[in-house]
Amino acid sequence: MDTKELLKKVRKIEIKTRRLSDHVFGGEYHSTFKGRGMTFSEVRQYQFGDDVRNIDWNVTARYNEPFIKVFEEERELTMLLMVDVSGSENFGTHGQFKNEYITEIAATLAFSATQNNDKIGLILFSGEIELYIPPKKGRSHVLRIIRELLEFKPQNKQTNIAEALKFLSNVMKKKAIVFMLSDFIDENYQHNLKIASGKHDITGIRIFDKNEIEIPNLGAVQMFDQETGRSYLINTASRNTRNNYAKNYQKQVEYFKDSCKKAGAGYLDCGLDESYVKKLLGYFKQRA
């Protein structure tokens, strides 16, 4: 992708997702994810109706009239986007690949955080950690994140969610709002998710294509595994083959949901044929 085409794509995504974050998600994000608490702002003269528990007795004694401490919500938060860039994300049958859909969701979340003056960081992972961008504020920083999501070419095609969560726990010492975007076609990450969720507010967003839920009867078909690079001749006419595939797929979905529940993490499913806008709004309202 040349520079001109890349900038055009970045601008297109910015226009679409920023409009959503400004008019739809901004308020929902703010009410869903609270700040660290109340922080001292100033001292002013006592007014009728003020809470007497907030009287600053030192200042009151100095001026011989009542003064109170004023507090305000400490809003600044850190959002971290954890994005799966493994081979299975290069799939889609609804006019969009999973990685393109993920980029739009990530951009919308990032602009929502920017609207609230929060920091945004990025972890791209596959079978290893591919890229880490430390959290920063501002539109230019979000645009850099979008550029990476569009242009980045991973070295590894496989998936290791446990390793990504381990990296998160090591690199982020303070509490962060974490959105993990993946198809979650992996296993053995429940323990690491539980550890990371003990420190961070984590939400798993599972991206899927409805045509990968089960295999249709198409006879003998040559299939290519994006993550291993291997080709297989699959007899899709076999009912046992189709049933085993569907069971294995459902097993991974249940493992994802069960892992999130046990870890106390949030989760939602987004199909490529569904509106992520409705899904995210419903999730935010449920949590608020």
Q: Is 178 exposed, middle or buried (0-12, 13-18, 19+ CB in 10 A)?
A: buried
* The CATH fold of domain 3-32+76-287: Rossmann fold (3.40.50)
Element (H or E) spanning 178, and its range? Answer: strand 177-182
- What's the pLDDT at 71? 62
- What's the pLDDT at 40? 54
- What's the pLDDT at 3? 67
Residue 211 Cα to chain centre, angstroms: 23
User: Is the predicted pLDDT of residue 171 greater than 70, yes or no?
Assistant: yes
Of 10, 16, 20, 12, the C-alpha closest to 149 is: 10
- What's the pLDDT at 187? 94
- What's the pLDDT at 45? 87
- Asked if 55 and 68 touch (Cβ cutoff 8 Å), the reply is yes
Confidence of residue 274 (pLDDT cuts 50, 70, 90): very high
Report how far residue 248's alpha carbon sits from residue 216's, in angstroms, rounded to the nearest whole number. 15
User: Is the predicted pLDDT of residue 253 greater than 90, yes or no?
Assistant: yes
Q: Quote the tokens at residue 141.
A: 């920083």
Confidence of residue 197 (pLDDT cuts 50, 70, 90): very high
- Asked if 16 and 104 touch (Cβ cutoff 8 Å), the reply is yes
Range of weakest confidence among 34-43, 92-101, 167-176, 214-223: 34-43
Report how far residue 135's alpha carbon sits from residue 76's, in angstroms, rounded to the nearest whole number. 12
User: Is the predicted pLDDT of residue 35 greater than 70, yes or no?
Assistant: no
User: Per residue in 128-148, is it b (16+ CB within 10 Å) or e — as a string?
Assistant: ebbeebebeeeeebbbbbbeb
Q: Quote the tokens at residue 60.
A: 């009151």
Strand-pairing partners, residue 231, are 224
- What's the pLDDT at 233? 87
User: Is the predicted pLDDT of residue 192 greater than 60, yes or no?
Assistant: yes
Residue ranges per domain, the chain? 3-32+76-287, 37-74
User: Is the predicted pLDDT of residue 195 greater than 60, yes or no?
Assistant: yes
Q: Is 269 exposed, middle or buried (0-12, 13-18, 19+ CB in 10 A)?
A: middle
Residues 279-287: what's their mean pLDDT? 87
Q: What pTM did the predictor assign? A: 0.81
User: Is the predicted pLDDT of residue 173 greater than 60, yes or no?
Assistant: yes
